[in-house]
Amino acid sequence: MMTYFIAAVLLASFVLSMRSSRYKMARRAMAALPENITLVRVPGDAWQDPATAEFLAAPLRQKGFADLGVYYVLPFTGARLGVMLNEKDKVAAYISERDGQLMPTTLELNVRYTDGTFTMMVNHGDNGVPRPPFCRVIFDQSDASSAELFERLLRERSSVGIKTITADNVLPEYQAAWTRIMRWEKGRGLNDEEIRRISAGGPKKAEICESVTLPPAAISAPSADLGPNEIRCPHCGQANEKEREVCWACYQFISGGEKSAAREVVGASLPPQASGGLGVFLDSLRWWAISILFMALGGFVLFRFYGPARDEAHRVAAQSAQAEGRIVETKRYHGRGNAITHIKVKILFTTTSGRPVIFGADLGRQAPGGSQVPVRYDPQAPTNCDLGPAGEASHALAGVLLCGGGLILSGIVICLWKFPFLLAWRRR
């Protein structure tokens, strides 16, 4: 029965640790996403998949949209954003493309309002990522053309308070919206149920550029004021969050180094099998095994040495009587080079009742200072005796408890540190 209980506890601990690792991985992925992006014009407005991009853009041109160019979305590599604008209907169109075919080219039709909210129509399904209250998203997974999606947006959008979008402000509006959404998502966080739902959605992945050279016009002028949680980059002067290691604008280390940085960002909706699920499993298994090993070693120490240490403590505590002993025999043992390895002696003492007792003692390498030595013994059993004054305590029991308990506590601390499943349960 006890074996079954232990096995059930270990299995439950491992399952909870896996849940916690998935939760921590999603939190790290969200924290790694940049709060600011920069749009840089692609030379020649080149697409990786021009056929798909044209398939989405052509029907929009017939509806009055004008092409405003194709842009790199920095600091993501392989991300291109095609921007189109219909100034008459105040609708912006964004065609998003990513290298590697990890995510299909998508279309977003966007309407902004003067109160800070916006409505968007997208040509894909809900990926499970929580949306801020100022953002209304209409998902459409049908085979409707981009022109049909535009007509649907015009029918379903609110016509009150629509903000005027021009070729001059469409890019700054997009970058400001990205920053606003990222700050909302990072401040809100994800619970375990949302992570499970996102994991079942479509894959998203982007990588931070290893080396990017931006034209001077691509970076806006540094802000004069810094917030309480911001620091200024020593290279370009832009404001950055204190926890950021690499400047979002110039990609240099904020600490002052000149080396450009490289980082990988895994999107929040990347499923486990595409985001290194095996690695997460092995990492969880490794730390789970380490914590269990520490607790098992602590249990072995207590099981194996607690009984003898307790008996030794009781034996020493019983040696309450004091006597004067006399060395009656000395044997010196020599090792290599005639060096003394240890000394054994036989000691004779007399109890208070007049009973003579002889016992042997090992003095190690320390020679006796004379023929008289202090002896302590148990009045009820005089053969329970040892060298030294009465009243001394054995430290063996404390050592066993400290060693075994420390190992078990270390295992628990590692488990809670790497797998804070109590926190994960609380956030469900």
Give one DSSP letter per residue of 37-49, joined into a string.
Answer: -EEEEPGGG--SS
| pLDDT reported for residue 212 | 37
| pLDDT reported for residue 261 | 36
**Is the preceding peptide bond at 132 cis, omega within 30 degrees of 0?**
no
HSE toward the beta carbon, residue 326, CA cutoff 13 A: 5
Counting DSSP H helices and E strands in the chain, the numbers are 8, 17
10-residue mean pLDDT profile of the chain (428 residues): values are 37 47 61 82 86 91 92 84 93 84 78 88 78 84 86 88 90 89 77 63 39 38 64 74 58 53 34 46 79 90 90 85 86 72 84 88 75 87 86 82 90 77 47
| pLDDT reported for residue 421 | 52
What is the torsional sign of CA 13, 18, 19, 21?
A: positive
Picking from 104, 98, 101, 100, the residue whose alpha carbon sits closest to that of residue 122 is 104
- DSSP at 52: H
| pLDDT reported for residue 126 | 74
CA distance 326 to 320: 19
User: Would you tell me how many other CB atoms lie within 10 Å of the CB of residue 183?
Assistant: 14
CA distance 149 to 156: 10
Write down the H helix ranges in 102-208.
146-156, 170-188, 192-199
The one-letter code for the residue type at 48 is Q
280 sits in the region (left: phi over 0; alpha: psi -120 to 50; else beta) called: alpha
What is the torsional sign of CA 365, 370, 375, 381?
A: positive
| pLDDT reported for residue 263 | 34
